[in-house]
Structures are given as C-alpha cells and as structure tokens.
C-alpha cells in the first residue's frame, strides 16, 4: 500500500523526537511513509535514547510505517540540536562538557550539518516545548523559567524558520508547529508559563506566514487535543484530561497521535498549497464547546 499523500523528493526536518510515543515520532513516520527523507533534530541529551528506539529489537513494532507501507522508520540522519541556542556562543561553558554537547549543537551548528547532508529542505516540523517549572501554576512561576519556556517553546519557531529559509528557497516549503488549546483559553493546570508560550507560538506563526509567504512557504499550527505522551504526564492528570475531552467533544472520543500526524501530513503536502497562517484543531472538536 502507499501513503495517501505523495511527498517523494521532499526533505523534512522534524524537531522534538525524544521517544517512540510522542507526536513528533508519529509525524516523522507519516512523512517517511509519504516518501519524504526525514532528518531528526533532537535535543542533544536524548539523541542516544532516540538511537536506541531506532535500532533495538523491542521497538520494532513502533518503527513500522503507517498506511500499510512496508518497512521501518529510518531517518536519513539524527542530529543533536538545542533550539535554545542560536549559535555556539549561546551554549553556556558549563554545558559544553555535558552529554551530547561535545560539538556545536546550536541551531546554526545543526543546520551546518544539515547542509552537508541535503541540498535543500521542504518541510520543518516544530514539536519542541519546555519549561523548567512545568509543575508550577502561573502565579508561582519565576521570571527565569517563564522566559525559558518562551525561548524554547515559542521563539525557536522563528529561529528555525530563519535558519531553514535559505535551504527552502524556490521549494514552496511548509512549516508546521504543534500547540494546545491553553494558548487561548484558561487551563489552570497547564503551568510553567506554557500557556503564554503557546499563545506566542501561534501569534508568531501568523506573522511568519506573511514573511515566509513571499517565498511561497506556508506556516501553520496544529492544535492537538490531550494525549498521554511522556511529556504530557508532567502537566497534570492526563487520564482525566483525555476522559473529559472524550465526553465533551462533539465526536465523543479521544484523539490518538496518528490523527495529529495525518493532519500534519496534509499540511506538508501540495494539497494544502493555499493554506497558511492558520491553526488546525485536532481535538475531536473540543475547542468548539463552551464547557
């Protein structure tokens, strides 16, 4: 069988893969199943973990491609990239001795390695988010943690677009970021300043759609419903969130990561060539409800 959309000849950069259950992993598999060459840009500290998921026997099932496409997920490359650092000068001296930081893992350094691998890039997936105080309610979040959440979770979209733009020239590329409904509604347990960061991410995506649109590139956001990823388990009772969404959404069901991956696949395909600057909700319609 073949994927429903053809991305043959395209190169996709996917950030945020840290395991084999998160949205980024499923998105990367869907893009490969569609025919794209996938390069993973993962945080330097988790690259060795991701490498194990890509090679160990016990993860064979999770590596199987979707849509009935025969084969396993095998990215063209796995590169370390700390999206909080634009250049090598931004990497703190004490970090340079840490695991994964034995070379330039800034955005500039990562893209220098991307340029050695491929002549051009068509797709950029922004699936990174972090706050060092994710467990704290907004009134208790420190300024430092709040700004870190903004830097990693929001500004990095702008930084990645700036770095990718030269490689996307003449390609009519697609940039897709992942968000959550807390960007526009009060979700008290979504702490660490992350609600503000997601609001910034969505706002920046709209403005970036204008600036990148001159080159024919599209910038969109997928706002996903709750899903029990490893990261989501740190922000509250994810089981209760999923159950509440399933009960109150128009479709009366929860989402799974393939739902999000399929929406991203569409936004990366030529079928969405005139869709940009928008947020697509993949939450069984929950965002449309008043309660």
pLDDT at 98: 87
Q: What is the mean pLDDT of the chain?
A: 94
Measure the CA–CA gap between 205 and 283, rounded to whole angstroms.
20
| Locus of tokens 């890039």 | 121
Q: What is the largest CA-CA distance in the chain?
A: 52
pTM of the model: 0.95
- Is the CB of residue 4 less than 8 Å from the CB of residue 68? no
| Statement: residue 232 has pLDDT above 70 | no
Please write the tens of the pLDDT for every residue from 205-224.
999 999 999 999 999 999 99
- Is the CB of residue 77 less than 8 Å from the CB of residue 110? no
Closest among 133, 171, 169 to 150, alpha carbons compared: 133
Of 190, 227, 281, 286, which residue is the catalytic one?
190
Measure the CA–CA gap between 272 and 266, rounded to whole angstroms.
6
97 against 157, higher pLDDT: 157
180 annotated active-site: yes
pLDDT at 234: 63
Of 101, 180, 227, 286, which residue is the catalytic one?
180
| Statement: residue 230 has pLDDT above 90 | no
- Is the CB of residue 248 less than 8 Å from the CB of residue 283? no
Q: Which residues contact 60 (CB under 8 A, 6 or more apart)?
A: 72
| Statement: residue 243 has pLDDT above 70 | yes
190 annotated active-site: yes
Please write the tens of the pLDDT for every residue from 254-266.
999 999 999 999 9
Please write the tens of the pLDDT for every residue from 57-68.
999 999 999 999
Domains and CATH numbers, the chain: 11-225+256-281 (3.40.50.720)
pLDDT at 235: 67
């Amino acid at each position: 069988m073949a994927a429903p959309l053809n991305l043959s000849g395209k190169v996709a950069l996917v950030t945020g893969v840290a395991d084999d259950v998160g949205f980024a992993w499923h998105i990367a598999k869907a893009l490969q199943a569609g025919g794209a060459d996938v390069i993973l840009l993962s945080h330097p500290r988790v690259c060795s973990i991701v490498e194990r998921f890509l090679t160990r026997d016990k993860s064979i099932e999770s590596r199987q491609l979707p849509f009935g496409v025969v084969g396993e997920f095998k990215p063209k490359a796995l590169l370390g990239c700390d999206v909080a650092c634009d250049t090598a000068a931004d990497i703190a001296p004490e970090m340079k001795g840490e695991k994964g930081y034995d070379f330039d893992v800034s955005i500039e350094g990562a893209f220098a390695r991307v340029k050695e691998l491929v002549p051009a890039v068509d797709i950029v997936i922004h699936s990174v988010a972090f706050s060092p105080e994710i467990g704290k309610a907004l009134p208790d979040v420190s300024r430092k943690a709040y700004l870190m959440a903004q830097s990693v979770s929001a500004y990095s979209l702008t930084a990645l677009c700036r770095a990718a733009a030269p490689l996307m020239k003449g390609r009519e590329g697609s940039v897709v970021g992942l968000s959550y409904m807390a960007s526009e509604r009060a979700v008290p347990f979504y702490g660490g300043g992350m609600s503000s960061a997601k609001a910034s991410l969505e706002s920046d995506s709209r403005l970036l759609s204008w600036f990148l649109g001159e080159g024919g590139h599209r910038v969109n956001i997928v706002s996903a419903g709750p899903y029990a990823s490893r990261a989501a388990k740190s922000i509250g009772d994810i089981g209760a969130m999923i159950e509440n969404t399933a009960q109150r959404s128009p479709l009366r069901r929860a989402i799974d990561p393939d739902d999000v991956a399929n929406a991203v696949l569409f936004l990366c395909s030529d079928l969405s060539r005139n869709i940009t600057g928008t947020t697509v909700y993949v939450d069984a319609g929950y965002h449309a409800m008043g309660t």
